[in-house]
Structure 1
Amino acid sequence: MLFNSIDFVVFLPIVFFFYWLLREKLKLQNILIVIASYLFYGWWDWRFLTLIAFSTALDYRIGLQLSKTDNPRNRKLLLWCSIVINLGFLGFFKYYNFFLDNFVTAFSFLGNPINGQSLNIILPVGISFYTFQTLSYTIDVYKRKLTPTNDFVAFAAFVSFFPQLVAGPIERATHLLPQFYSQRQLEYRQAVNGLRQILWGFFKKLVIADNCAKYANEIFDMSNQYGGTTLLLGAIFFAFQIYGDFSGYSDIAIGTARLFGFKLMQNFAFPYFSRDMAEFWRRWHISLSTWFRDYVYIPLGGSRVNKRFAIRNTFIIFIVSGFWHGANWTFIAWGLLNALYFLPLLLSGNNRKNLNPVADKRILPSVKELFQIILTFALTSLAWVFFRAENIQHASDYLTHLFGGLYLKQNLVDTYVLIFYKAGYLIVLLMVFIILEWLGRNSKFAIEHLLIRQNRFVRWTFYYCIIIVIAFYMPTTESPFIYFQF
């Protein structure tokens, strides 16, 4: 079920009504969340419910078994049982054909052609997200950071919680699971703040992301017909598309969770205002970045090892992160490129230099900060070309044409037409969007505190303006969120 669908518009109020009707009955509330979440997830394909149900039962049982033994060997065996089975399902559905195709290609290249039968595998929506969420539970129980639960309903609700089930944030069991044990209260301010965040999420998705997608798709799909400046615009449009799309989903998910009395972690912290790539990765897809940091990077030794191993750990974490996004060499190249971006900061010891918000307690950034922001955004946008491209060859051709044809006369004419006649309205929308994001950069989301001290008329006028813009610029057909494919 898509957030930006009529189905969800009907689904959410019904679940909300019955959920708070049971406000004094915690167990029934949790049961309702499980039922609603399975309905929400099964709306795409009910067959995938068996996977999430199996993963839930498996890790619930392993958690209980871990609590019954202190034998290091048995505990490690249980942990690896969870890791292998969960990642095995993820690997089969997501990477089987990728590995098979590359295996066949490698043998053919060496002069030993073999036949391999690809399977028509449908990737279950959200499997990468809920797999990591259940693994966080097992790993934390194994490390004795978390007491395993005896409440199967609460655990099932934690795994399948519908607001963040299919595209995050990837919640830790230590943060979200305990919230299913305690009575929730419908707090007016929290609910209003949730609705405000949902509104901003829809603006990001329907106005920014979907309108950027229209031009980004056209430019990327016909990149051989455009010059460098237009291709540069295409990369910028995609950068805003993926940010608006993914952070928009996170805003809707977090805001929806607030309506039910839950607090989810912040997943994006205005990453395009970062002054270096290390700061960018502290602000982009925070739930995934911190997951890899805590469960992969730090166990490998992190940066608290000699330079050689620190470099190794950096490349591992970025390449694994890239591969997590999809079974394509473009994602590995994207991860590798980001590792190269990060490396100078690591070697110079500047990877934790910019920890405070940019222009903290100031209205405008300094000239130096502005230059750093533009440079970081430019590097990020170039990396996004690999993320968006169909394959390595497409990305290579795109970048070659981008840098090779920036100043051709016909190219400048094409770009002028695009900016002033086709996408002029979008340029204006992006400028307004950037201003609003800048004004709210110290909040959890851009409009959380914007105009909060103004009178009700001013605030509601602003909110209605956003609603009108959404209604005017939203696409006529439902468009899925980008991260559903991951």
Structure 2
Amino acid sequence: MSYLIDVYYEKVRPQKNLVSLGLYISMFPQLIAGPIVRYIDVEKQIRKKRKFNFEQFSEGIKRFIVGLFKKVVIANQMGFVADFVFDGTGYAGAPSYWLGIVCYAFQIYFDFSGYSDMAIGLGKMFGFDFLENFNLPYISRSIKEFWRRWHISLSSWFRDYLYIPLGGNRKGLARTYINLLIVFFITGLWHGASWSFIVWGLYHGFFLILERLGLEKLLTKTPRLFRHAYTMLVVLFGWVFFRAETLSSGLSYIGSMFSLNNNYNEVFQYMNPYFMFVLFLAILLSTNVKTYLLRKIGHEKTTTILSYIKHPFYILLFVFSLFELATNSYNPFIYFRF
């Protein structure tokens, strides 16, 4: 669609080489799970000879390994606990429901960002440079910022091909809010023909409108920690509807999060050392730890340390990921259906 629309508006020249057009349409690194690659972003790389060298191939391998680790180690471990809680296997108290949605938030982030990393890495191995798809969305301090960092290729696609053609914010406040609701209604529907997905989309659209109405200005006057907590709570409740099989089960799940049943026995059974280690990694890798190290240790020292450990580090990640694949039969492909 983006190719046809861009050709119609003469943003790109029509691709008359059937092989080159087929290459774009069937580009296997990103075909199944994203990121969404527009023709306009890879036109020059397809039309002209791509730069292909050992350094780029090496970067692609490292990026692929990082994505593989995110998927099979972090996302799978988080998903196992999330599925147990959401499927209602056993007697769970409110703490378990909170743990379940936190684990699902990490699962869907590391699952999809892991696939995006693998796609970007594979692209580099073949000489393509795909745009980034995630930028640490869980450090956001508003829903507006969250959507600038989450699934960037999707949000930018809807902005350019739906929101702006509808009029964007150029036709008054009322039309702007209607356009936002339309975009997020379609965003929810894009993920699946289910009321739970539609509610998830409209839910995010509602908070974006609230922030435009003045909530964002109020938030800027509050501490950063409060803004971050507000954003994460909104996102977590939204993920409940996204994960729930039906709208009623999603509402029931949220109700259980605030039940008076504070049974911690279910929570403690997950608290084995390995789960705690992976949970720590999930929290750590959701933050901008690299920038923190550069600021605290210094750019030169950090670069020197990383240059010594990076190759053994990537080998270790790859071996550990292979070990997980070989020993663990739980390996869901959750974003394939979206």
| TM-score, normalization by structure 1 | 0.63
1:296-330 deviation per Cα after TM superposition (whole angstroms, max 9, x unaligned): 10111112222211111111111100000011111
Indicate conservation of the 8 Å contact 1:267/1:286, yes or no.
yes
What amino acid does structure 2 have at the position aligned with 1:476? Answer: N
**Displacement after TM superposition at 1:188 (Å):** 2.3
Question: What is aligned with 1:376?
Answer: 231
Confirm or deny that 1:438 pairs with 2:285.
Answer: no
In 2, Cα distance between equivalents of 1:189 and 1:345: 44
In 1, Cα distance between equivalents of 2:251 and 2:30: 35
- The counterpart of 1:278, out of the listed 129, 144, 148, is 144
- The counterpart of 1:151, out of the listed 13, 17, 20, is 17
- The counterpart of 1:402, out of the listed 257, 260, 263, is 257
In 1, Cα distance between equivalents of 2:49 and 2:316: 36
Question: What is aligned with 2:56?
Answer: 190
What amino acid does structure 2 have at the position aligned with 1:438? Answer: N
Confirm or deny that 1:390 pairs with 2:239.
Answer: no
**Displacement after TM superposition at 1:203 (Å):** 1.0
Between structure 1 and structure 2, the one with the greater Rg is 1
In 1, Cα distance between equivalents of 2:135 and 2:329: 29
Question: What is aligned with 2:37?
Answer: 171
Structure 1 runs, 4 residues or longer, greater than 4 Å off: 449-452
Indicate conservation of the 8 Å contact 1:149/1:155, yes or no.
yes
Q: Secondary structure at the match of 2:67?
A: helix
**Displacement after TM superposition at 1:455 (Å):** 6.5
1:373-421 deviation per Cα after TM superposition (whole angstroms, max 9, x unaligned): 232122111111111111011111111111123xx34x12332333x34
Confirm or deny that 1:310 pairs with 2:165.
Answer: no
Confirm or deny that 1:462 pairs with 2:313.
Answer: yes
**Displacement after TM superposition at 1:427 (Å):** 2.7
Question: What is aligned with 2:107?
Answer: 241
Question: What is aligned with 2:123?
Answer: 257
Question: What is aligned with 1:415?
Answer: 267
Which consecutive residues of structure 2, in runs of 5 or more, have no partner in the other structure? 293-299
Counterparts of residues 92-241 of structure 1 (less than 5 Å): 135-222=1-88, 225-241=91-107
Confirm or deny that 1:477 pairs with 2:329.
Answer: yes
What amino acid does structure 2 have at the position aligned with 1:221? Answer: D
**Displacement after TM superposition at 1:478 (Å):** 6.8
What amino acid does structure 2 have at the position aligned with 1:175? Answer: D
What amino acid does structure 2 have at the position aligned with 1:413? Answer: N
In 2, Cα distance between equivalents of 1:319 and 1:286: 17
Which consecutive residues of structure 1, in runs of 5 or more, have no partner in the other structure? 1-134, 355-366, 443-448
**Displacement after TM superposition at 1:349 (Å):** 8.4
In 2, Cα distance between equivalents of 1:304 and 1:223: 50
Indicate conservation of the 8 Å contact 2:94/2:258, yes or no.
yes
In 2, Cα distance between equivalents of 1:224 and 1:206: 25
In 1, Cα distance between equivalents of 2:174 and 2:306: 58
The change in CA–CA distance for 1:382 and 1:450 in structure 2 (over 3 A counts) is farther
**Displacement after TM superposition at 1:282 (Å):** 0.6
Confirm or deny that 1:335 pairs with 2:201.
Answer: yes
In 2, Cα distance between equivalents of 1:375 and 1:461: 39
The change in CA–CA distance for 1:247 and 1:208 in structure 2 (over 3 A counts) is same
Give the fraction of aligned pairs with identical amino acids, expressed as a percent: 38
Counterparts of residues 289-304 of structure 1 (less than 5 Å): 289-304=155-170
Indicate conservation of the 8 Å contact 1:307/1:347, yes or no.
no
In 2, Cα distance between equivalents of 1:323 and 1:139: 21
| TM-score, normalization by structure 2 | 0.89
- The counterpart of 1:426, out of the listed 258, 271, 275, is 275
The change in CA–CA distance for 1:262 and 1:274 in structure 2 (over 3 A counts) is same
Indicate conservation of the 8 Å contact 1:331/1:386, yes or no.
yes
